[in-house]
Structure 1
Amino acid sequence: MGIMSYLRDRMGKILAFVIGLALLAFIGSEVVHSGSSFFRGDATTVAEVNGEKIDYKDFSQRIEASTDQFRQQYNQPLTPQVTDYIQNTTWNQLLTGILLKKEIDKLGLVVGEAETASMISGNNPDQQIQSQFADETGKFDKAKLNQFLSYINSGKVPAAEFERWGNFVKNVIDSKRQQKYVALVSNGLYVNSLEAQDDYTDKNKLANFKYTVLDYASLPDSKIKLTDDDYSTYYNEHKGQFKNPEETRSFEYVSFNAAPSKQDSAAIKDQVEKLAASFKSAPNDSLFVQINAETKTPLVYAKKGQLDPTLDSTMFNAAKGTVYGPYLAGGKYKIAKLIDTKVGPDSVKARHILLNPATEGGMDKAVAKADSLKKLIQGGKSFDELAKTYSIDKNSAVKGGDLGTFGRGAMIPAFEDAAFDGKAGDLKVVKSQFGVHLLQIESQKGSSKVVKVAVIDKSLTPSSETQNAAYAKAQQFLATVNSDNFTAQAKKAGLAVKTSDDVTGVASSLAGLDNARPIVKWAFGADKGAIGDQVFAVGDQYVVARLSNIKPQGALPLEAIKKQIEPAVLLDVKGKQLAEKFQSALNGSTSIDQVAQKAGSKVTPVQNIVFANPVLPGSSAEYLLVGSIFGSQPNKLSAPVKGQSGVYVYTVESFVNPAPLTNTVREKQQLSQVLAQRTPGSLLDALKDKANVKDNRAKFL
């Protein structure tokens, strides 16, 4: 973690922007061994896009950097759900970049030196530049940018930092090239007067009609017996919808709970209770925490709202030395001790000069140098100039060491204690894990009670007996099942069979199962019907799985989606039966009322429906129905129309045409804006659909 992870406005923000979101998840070390048969050939290619290989080394570097970026920005662990989101988002970003670059290079689109200079340091820099050099209010600070550029051009920048800046600038240039390409395509789109007129009519022409409907729900599902011909007919009519963008697999599983039992919970609580007496009389609370706590956090002052809710309502009214607990919070038993209380400032504005003991000849010499700088400042030397000259924290150095205003919890403990315990104008020499700071407190604001609380925690985990018992049951079940009797054996054992459908090869978590990567990895190496080759440990569950279906990439056969389309086939069959009922009612009828009477339905009048908003009052959108209405003649009974909720018959009473459109300019502008908004997404979808992508990411997870 970089120096300014805690000290704000760090150069790491620029690095974070360059790298963006994470690529995939952590790649398991077991698959990187050279020559592993798992790779079946090329052991370094994660994916191939139109012949361009994406190397594993590049992937792993992006993964490490982006994972660090996430943790620095959000200060929380990388959950399986977040990992899945990062994987999918960043894969699409990488794929998009490769596809766009190929098209951009074909056209020879470039960003020249003068344009680059203008984007970085001109009167109106690129938005990415502006966002990185903003003040505390979020407004672009040109002086801040100029200070940084002077530092970059000074020739004193460490190589790694200079490389990061170069990568950032390259990213800005690449983004500009992409913007030019999208603009080129967008500018080639044109909305003519006829399209403008049609759009105006669609949004303003009114239809008044009556309809009668037979709801699909009027036919019980149990009364419908689907045949193979029903499935085939529906599949052939909708074949274009069944194209799988990537291979997916489905499996069913049973799980055996290995969560902590009541006995486990009582045993852990008893351990914590025994610690409470010793904690109360401990002479060194910090050392006691380091020895006994699982989460070894430093002891710092906290204001109300920063503690666990349970402690927040207890410690601010307790006497010094009070020990509270055990209490259960976040899956852990905890005890807490009130170390101290006092009244202190809410926020501090400060600046610092940071010295590196390694380059100063040791900690003692770094402290001595900080003392010398302190005397120079007390003698009238400019803190601003000394910070620019001596501080290794270059991001704050270019601002005269300014760290801005920060509240409790924003800085490392040693630095925070010094900043909040002093008074405005103090100069303090502070040692931390990052080096030696010469801290100047510029101002302090607010005043409130703060408490220092020490916490001992023990996780609520299952005992080995609990785990062994659950694992033994899972192993016993695994020994009794095969591809044909999985469901029957589960039912016999009183176990619920759960399903996970259409899982992608890079999924890390599944519904009800976090950290399920081992199951997914097995599923993508197994044959349909296979039983898991082991009992999978997933969180506090032991899982036995069966691979139930494989959907290959591309056009899917009927058998692969038969279960998936069953609800739609059911509605289709119901629709045909209800349409036949309406067709019988239409024979000899001359009005919508007669049709409704024969069919046992009712007539509903509707006023002022427009084509652009096909929603029936009190119902849902009915695209086919409303589309059919606007293509009909008034005062004629329609044929049955299968809609979303049921089968309809209608008669149009009248259309009300809008006032003539005399000026199409405004309509054209509105349509053009809609086209411009859709262009980037539609363009990328077209490029992805055309691309030849070989995605091997699942092998590296």
Structure 2
Amino acid sequence: MAVMGYLRDRMGKIVAGVIGLSLFAFIATEAIKSGGSFFKGDNNELGSVGDEKILLDAFNTSVEQNTAQFKQQSGQGRITPQITSYIQENTWNQLVSQAILKKEFDKLGLTVGGDETQEMTTGNNPSPQVIQAFSDPQTGKFSHENLLNAINAIKGLKEDDPQKIRWKEFVINLIDGKKTEKYMSLVANGLYVNSLDAKDSYEGKNKLANLKYAVLEYNSIPDNKVTLTDADYSNYYNAHKGEFKNQQETRDISYVSFNAAPSAADSAAVKGQLDKLLPDFSKSTNDSLFVQINSETKTPLTYQHKGELDPKIDSIIFKQNPGFIYGPYLSNGSYKLSKLVEARMSPDSVKARHILITPTESGGTLEKALARADSLKKLIESGKATFASLAPVFSIDKASGSKGGELGTFGRGAMVPAFENAVFDGKKGEIKIVTSQFGVHLVEIEDQKGSSKVVKVATVDKVLSASSNTQSAAYSKAQAFLISLSKDNFDAEAKKAGLKIAEANDIAGIASSLPGLTDARDLVRWVFKASKDDVSDQVFTVGDQYVVARVTEVKPKGTLSLDLVKKQIEPAVRNEVKGKILSDKFAAASSGSSSIEQIAQKAGTKVLPLQNIVFANPVIPGSSAEYKAIGTAFGLSIGKISKPIIGQQGVYVVSVNSFIVPAPLTNAVREKEQIGQALLQRSQGLILQALNDKANVKDNRAKLL
């Protein structure tokens, strides 16, 4: 029983390990973006990598596991649509990367032998994941003996036992992780940094330049003074074509929304409900029951310190006497009434130990559990036994029982209310019997520290929501607008109705929210089923908004055409055209000038100094990174004036006053190691991206999720 209990305690960590070991951290990122268009086929086929299918059922199972792990690690019980989308994206990336790497492993013949597997699990140097899963959560100490006992217990289980299945999955993922290590090691062994690389890196970080520059900024020319031609757009597009690669299909929409948020009348009606409850709440002698009957949120009454109450009442309640009622007040989308039930001084923390007894373990009834607790209490009080000796034998809480029942020191909010009230309201040295939802506790209060005021507040709330009349009015307006639409008149009809058109661009197929619209998954799903210029076939409910949308652009996976990026690149194209004008201005000013000061004066600007600039950090203080300008300066001879340089903020001319050359690099080993480490970190993500691009990944998530 002890081994199986230990094993059950560790299964949570093993499950987390199975999830975490699916891929290493460099795989479980958003670095890999997959795309693809939907094709007719199996509705359970979420996507594929080459000829290997990724099935919807398997994906959903992985999402559930990753969600459980997220909740465990973050302590969050509620998962927002945004977090769900993030987990889904990471899960997809994991499954795609696993499929891609499996093909690479098979191609290279990478294996993990039986001896390696044994060493990772039960050997003298087990995997860090095994150590983590089988370490004491209190001390962090790893027990090799406990590990072996647990594995022997697993071997005795039936093949379909969930614990045995999880262990097998855990080992399989350990093996996959080891294969990935080997694969990445092969890559690392192919990276090489020579002495010239080290020298260039050293000088780039340590060679200093003192220079001066003049700049004609782009904003010195009004935008309306520049006319952009098709040739200007084409030239810029062709020069930067590699920047317009779409990793996955995206879409743009325009939409109008109709507000169905609670109206002033709705607010008054909800507030009025609490106004009617106020007299009865004031006279109530059972505030806990009053809350349970009248409040939409059934919050138990517990003692709280200053700073733990709703900010709207925290500073007010602590100055009042019991019976004081504040409200109705609006907080977090609800109207509330709060009544100060009790105020008292209380310890800040308590040290306690317990023995937990359940009816099941003591004969089947609560009375028998209470009787056993009373018997143990008498043994301790009579001196015939100690608390520490009884806890390992009688407590079903084995984690604390093995330590004599010790729970450590804790503050309010750490324990269930019944247990908390007993130890905080009792006295140091007192032994008490307490019943909670977990069973019967025999509790000893070992110590109490500190003292501060706590309050018990009863709060009745009513959620502020839109009435059916408010919702119906907003929906009717949205429906009337929808009926008036065709593919060609969206903008005109919106203008006629006095509606503001909003835009959402570059929407991914699995997006769960859009700018200004949360929980918009249904709308996004329609967007990816529609074609360009299609108007939504229904009014979508998104939070407290009713939305009607039109697809304005479909941007396929791959290099986007000039037409699709024309609006996006317009500012850069305009600056490029301005750059030519300003370059000509500097060139004209350079004619007959012998110094940068003369050039600046003729061009109508001034010369500014720059001290101690390094090549590796090409930032002009007060401006931005100017790679071309600073890079040009480091290639100039001292005193030479550069030609006009088209930069980020404007057009520059520079001249170097002096260089401060660092001492020669005598030992390149450390520099090589730093460069090599940076290359290694970059290579892992780049390899996966390259493999992904080559792998023929098809992604149907936009239609199936």
Same fold (TM over 0.5): yes
Q: Which residue of 1 aligns with 2:89?
A: 88
State how 1:339-358 maps to structure 2 within 5 Å: 339-354=341-356, 357=359
The answer to whether the Cα contact below 8 Å between 2:63 and 2:87 also exists between their aligned partners in 1 is no
State how 1:20-31 maps to structure 2 within 5 Å: none
Residues 1:404 and 1:42: Cα distance change in structure 2 (over 3 Å): farther
Bigger mean CA deviation after superposition, 440-449 or 608-617: 440-449
Instruction: Output the CA distance in 1 between the equivalents of 2:169 and 2:210.
Output: 61
Alpha-carbon shift at residue 157 of structure 1 (Å): 9.2
Whichever residue aligns with residue 99 of structure 1, its letter is I
Q: Which residue of 2 aligns with 1:196?
A: 198
Alpha-carbon shift at residue 466 of structure 1 (Å): 1.4
1:300 to 302, 310, 315: 302
Q: Identity over the aligned pairs, expressed in percent?
A: 57
Q: Which residue of 2 aligns with 1:41?
A: 41
Whichever residue aligns with residue 49 of structure 1, its letter is V
Q: Which residue of 2 aligns with 1:99?
A: 100
- CA offsets, 1:337-372, max 9 Å, x none? 233333333333444455565687744376268538
Instruction: Output the CA distance in 2 between the equivalents of 1:193 and 1:187.
Output: 17
Bigger mean CA deviation after superposition, 433-442 or 73-82: 433-442
Instruction: Output the CA distance in 2 between the equivalents of 1:448 and 1:13.
Output: 38
Whichever residue aligns with residue 513 of structure 2, its letter is S
- CA offsets, 1:28-52, max 9 Å, x none? xxxxxxxxxx984212122322333
Q: Which residue of 2 aligns with 1:78?
A: 79
2:230 to 224, 228, 240: 228
Structure 1 portions without partners, runs of 5+:
1-8, 24-37
The answer to whether the Cα contact below 8 Å between 1:21 and 1:90 also exists between their aligned partners in 2 is no
Instruction: Output the CA distance in 1 between the equivalents of 2:378 and 2:179.
Output: 50
State how 1:587-626 maps to structure 2 within 5 Å: 587-626=591-630
Alpha-carbon shift at residue 16 of structure 1 (Å): 4.1
The answer to whether the Cα contact below 8 Å between 1:629 and 1:652 also exists between their aligned partners in 2 is yes
1:374 aligns with 2:376: yes
Instruction: Output the CA distance in 2 between the equivalents of 1:191 and 1:450.
Output: 64
State how 1:36-435 maps to structure 2 within 5 Å: 40-71=40-71, 73-109=74-110, 126-128=127-129, 140-142=140-142, 150=149, 153=152, 159-161=161-163, 163-164=165-166, 167-168=169-170, 170-172=172-174, 174-354=176-356, 357=359, 362-364=364-366, 367=369, 370-371=372-373, 374=376, 378=380, 393=397, 395-396=399-400, 402-424=406-428, 428-435=432-439
Instruction: Output the CA distance in 2 between the equivalents of 1:297 and 1:337.
Output: 13
1:700 aligns with 2:704: yes
Q: Which residue of 2 aligns with 1:514?
A: 518
Give SS of 1:142's match.
coil
Bigger mean CA deviation after superposition, 478-487 or 649-658: 649-658
1:660 aligns with 2:664: yes
1:581 aligns with 2:585: yes
Instruction: Output the CA distance in 2 between the equivalents of 1:373 and 1:183.
Output: 63
Alpha-carbon shift at residue 644 of structure 1 (Å): 0.7
Residues 1:469 and 1:95: Cα distance change in structure 2 (over 3 Å): same
Instruction: Output the CA distance in 2 between the equivalents of 1:160 and 1:397.
Output: 27
Residues 1:672 and 1:409: Cα distance change in structure 2 (over 3 Å): same
Instruction: Output the CA distance in 2 between the equivalents of 1:404 and 1:113.
Output: 43
- CA offsets, 1:546-565, max 9 Å, x none? 11111111111111111111
Instruction: Output the CA distance in 1 between the equivalents of 2:97 and 2:81.
Output: 24
Residues 1:630 and 1:373: Cα distance change in structure 2 (over 3 Å): farther
Instruction: Output the CA distance in 1 between the equivalents of 2:388 and 2:41.
Output: 59
Instruction: Output the CA distance in 2 between the equivalents of 1:695 and 1:370.
Output: 61
Alpha-carbon shift at residue 315 of structure 1 (Å): 3.2
1:542 aligns with 2:536: no
Bigger mean CA deviation after superposition, 162-171 or 598-607: 162-171
The answer to whether the Cα contact below 8 Å between 1:151 and 1:398 also exists between their aligned partners in 2 is no
Give SS of 1:348's match.
strand
Alpha-carbon shift at residue 441 of structure 1 (Å): 4.4
Q: Which residue of 2 aligns with 1:28?
A: none
Q: Which residue of 2 aligns with 1:457?
A: 461
Instruction: Output the CA distance in 1 between the equivalents of 2:231 and 2:325.
Output: 74
**How many residues get paired?**
677
- CA offsets, 1:609-636, max 9 Å, x none? 3322212243221111222233344444
Give SS of 2:140's match.
coil
Residues 1:533 and 1:352: Cα distance change in structure 2 (over 3 Å): farther
The answer to whether the Cα contact below 8 Å between 1:11 and 1:395 also exists between their aligned partners in 2 is no
Alpha-carbon shift at residue 198 of structure 1 (Å): 1.6
Give SS of 1:314's match.
helix
- CA offsets, 1:53-101, max 9 Å, x none? 2222222223334434444543352223333333333433443344344
The answer to whether the Cα contact below 8 Å between 2:358 and 2:369 also exists between their aligned partners in 1 is no
Residues 1:437 and 1:117: Cα distance change in structure 2 (over 3 Å): farther
- CA offsets, 1:357-400, max 9 Å, x none? 56877443762685387369637567667665665555555656
Residues 1:545 and 1:652: Cα distance change in structure 2 (over 3 Å): same
- CA offsets, 1:565-612, max 9 Å, x none? 111111122122222333333445444344334433333343443322
Residues 1:656 and 1:368: Cα distance change in structure 2 (over 3 Å): closer
Alpha-carbon shift at residue 114 of structure 1 (Å): 6.0
Instruction: Give the TM-score of the pair, scaled to structure 2.
Output: 0.85
Instruction: Output the CA distance in 1 between the equivalents of 2:470 and 2:345.
Output: 48
Alpha-carbon shift at residue 305 of structure 1 (Å): 2.3
Residues 1:202 and 1:480: Cα distance change in structure 2 (over 3 Å): same
Alpha-carbon shift at residue 447 of structure 1 (Å): 3.0
Instruction: Output the CA distance in 1 between the equivalents of 2:279 and 2:312.
Output: 20
The answer to whether the Cα contact below 8 Å between 1:22 and 1:67 also exists between their aligned partners in 2 is no
State how 1:659-678 maps to structure 2 within 5 Å: 659-678=663-682
Instruction: Output the CA distance in 2 between the equivalents of 1:546 and 1:391.
Output: 64
Whichever residue aligns with residue 19 of structure 1, its letter is I
1:487 to 477, 484, 491: 491
Instruction: Output the CA distance in 2 between the equivalents of 1:231 and 1:568.
Output: 9
- CA offsets, 1:124-174, max 9 Å, x none? 7654455567778x863236x865765665579995456555555555554
Alpha-carbon shift at residue 270 of structure 1 (Å): 0.9
Instruction: Output the CA distance in 1 between the equivalents of 2:635 and 2:448.
Output: 73
Instruction: Output the CA distance in 1 between the equivalents of 2:185 and 2:219.
Output: 49
Q: Which residue of 1 aligns with 2:5?
A: none
1:644 aligns with 2:648: yes
Q: Which residue of 2 aligns with 1:552?
A: 556
Q: Which residue of 2 aligns with 1:32?
A: none
- CA offsets, 1:203-240, max 9 Å, x none? 23333444332211111111122222221121111111
The answer to whether the Cα contact below 8 Å between 2:270 and 2:335 also exists between their aligned partners in 1 is yes
Instruction: Output the CA distance in 1 between the equivalents of 2:16 and 2:254.
Output: 40
Give SS of 1:61's match.
helix
User: RMSD of aligned C-alpha atoms?
Assistant: 3.5
Residues 1:300 and 1:390: Cα distance change in structure 2 (over 3 Å): same
The answer to whether the Cα contact below 8 Å between 1:147 and 1:398 also exists between their aligned partners in 2 is no
The answer to whether the Cα contact below 8 Å between 2:295 and 2:461 also exists between their aligned partners in 1 is yes
Alpha-carbon shift at residue 492 of structure 1 (Å): 2.7
The answer to whether the Cα contact below 8 Å between 1:243 and 1:553 also exists between their aligned partners in 2 is yes
Residues 1:687 and 1:399: Cα distance change in structure 2 (over 3 Å): farther
Q: Which residue of 2 aligns with 1:19?
A: 19
Structure 2 portions without partners, runs of 5+:
1-8, 24-37
Give SS of 2:318's match.
helix
The answer to whether the Cα contact below 8 Å between 1:642 and 1:648 also exists between their aligned partners in 2 is yes
1:572 aligns with 2:572: no
Instruction: Output the CA distance in 2 between the equivalents of 1:97 and 1:187.
Output: 22
